[in-house]
Amino acid sequence: MATITYRDALRLALIEEMDRDTLVMLMGEDIGRYQGTFRVTQGLLEKYGSERVMDTPITEPGFTGIAIGAAMVGVRPVVEMMTMSFSILAFDQIFNHAAKVHYMTNGQLKVPMVIRGPSGAANQLSAQHSQSVDAWYAHVPGLKVVAPFTPQDAKGMLKSAIRDDNPVIFLEHPTLYGAKGDVSEDTEFVTPFGKAHVLKEGSDITLLAYSKMVQTCLDTAENLHQQGISAEVIDIRSLLPLDMETISSSVRKTNRAVVVYEGWRNGGFGAEIAARISEECFDYLDGPVVRVAGLNVPMPYARNLELECMPKPENILESIKKIL
């Protein structure tokens, strides 16, 4: 194991997979000579050349479409979005083509590609650069959607994504790039999709989250521990497919659940998790499944207002008091 940053874990996954398979290539805005907005692709242009690390114009629908076409003939493109908010421009390519080609050709064509980049609020990037896109993508059949929290999962899940024969939406929170953690140095280490991770066991309440909000739940669990309340914290990490077996098992044990997500409360992916818990664990629940989410407003630029729009431990604690 090596202790490295989330950013370096992603870069290591790219290097290992590009060394393993010459059909893996990268494309996106400023990923080559500039080395990526968050420096994930630092040094890769020099290592692999411009045919495998391709700088693109500012045309998300264009280069996403090119990547889909390349994937259909056997290449394994990894597309970096400068921010996943910009991927909105390529929704038609992703929703109508990447997600549906395999189905519409009766399995004759595959689209083995990854679309990765920062999703969520960084620090004062304002409304158009701070959106959490997870719910939009997790709504679409034919896509796989993951949002790793730890550097270990960042590496393992990106390797799984690159090897997958389906289009994968890979969501990285911009505030996690500098986070450090232990990461396997095994070049064949992968983290499978569809399996949640129980980070902290507990008996009184289940806290469910993914990406940056996992840390918020861990902080809340520590606060609850000081009050004599035992909270179980689960990192969802794989949204599509979703591991309901682990989630349901935890809720049947604790009898209470709080789902935390950074995106807008209205129609967020946490609502899907809450609905499934209500359907599968109704007889075990001692209170309603509670959602703690971002406010239904465009993200403000002012830092004090930005912080007010995102879930905080005190918001979770307030919700927990209602069901305990």
pLDDT tens digits, the chain, 324 residues: what are they? 899 999 999 999 999 999 999 999 999 999 999 999 999 999 999 999 999 999 999 999 999 999 999 999 999 999 999 999 999 999 999 999 999 999 999 999 999 999 999 999 988 888 899 899 999 999 999 999 999 999 999 999 999 999 999 999 999 999 999 999 999 999 999 999 999 999 999 999 999 999 999 999 999 999 999 999 999 999 999 999 999 999 999 999 999 999 999 999 999 999 999 999 999 999 999 999 999 999 999 999 999 999 899 999 999 999 998 888
Task: Give, to the nearest 10 degrees, the angle between helix 244-254 and helix 269-281.
Answer: 60
For residue 323, what pLDDT is reported? 85
- The b/e string for 151-166 (b: 16+ C-beta within 10 A; e otherwise) is bbbbbbbbbbbbbbeb
- Identical topology for domains 2-183 and 197-323: yes
For residue 123, what pLDDT is reported? 86
CATH, domain 197-323, list 3.40.50.920, 3.30.70.3280, 3.40.50.720, 3.20.20.220: 3.40.50.920
Q: Considering 16, 17, 60, 262, which one is annotated as catalytic? A: 60
What number of other Cβ atoms are within 10 A of residue 307's Cβ?
12
Find how far residue 143's CA is from the centre of its chain. 13
For residue 92, give every residue at least 6 positions away whose Cβ sits within 8 Å of its Cβ, in sequence order, or none: 61
For residue 37, give every residue at least 6 positions away whose Cβ sits within 8 Å of its Cβ, in sequence order, or none: 30, 82, 83, 118
Tell me if 109 sits within 8 A of 72, measured CB to CB.
yes
For residue 44, give every residue at least 6 positions away whose Cβ sits within 8 Å of its Cβ, in sequence order, or none: 11, 14, 15, 18, 26, 31, 32, 35, 53
129 counts as catalytic: yes
60 counts as catalytic: yes
Q: Where are the chain's structural domains?
A: 2-183, 197-323
For residue 34, what pLDDT is reported? 94
**CATH code linked to domain 2-183:** 3.40.50.970
For residue 58, what pLDDT is reported? 95
Residue 264 is given by DSSP the state E
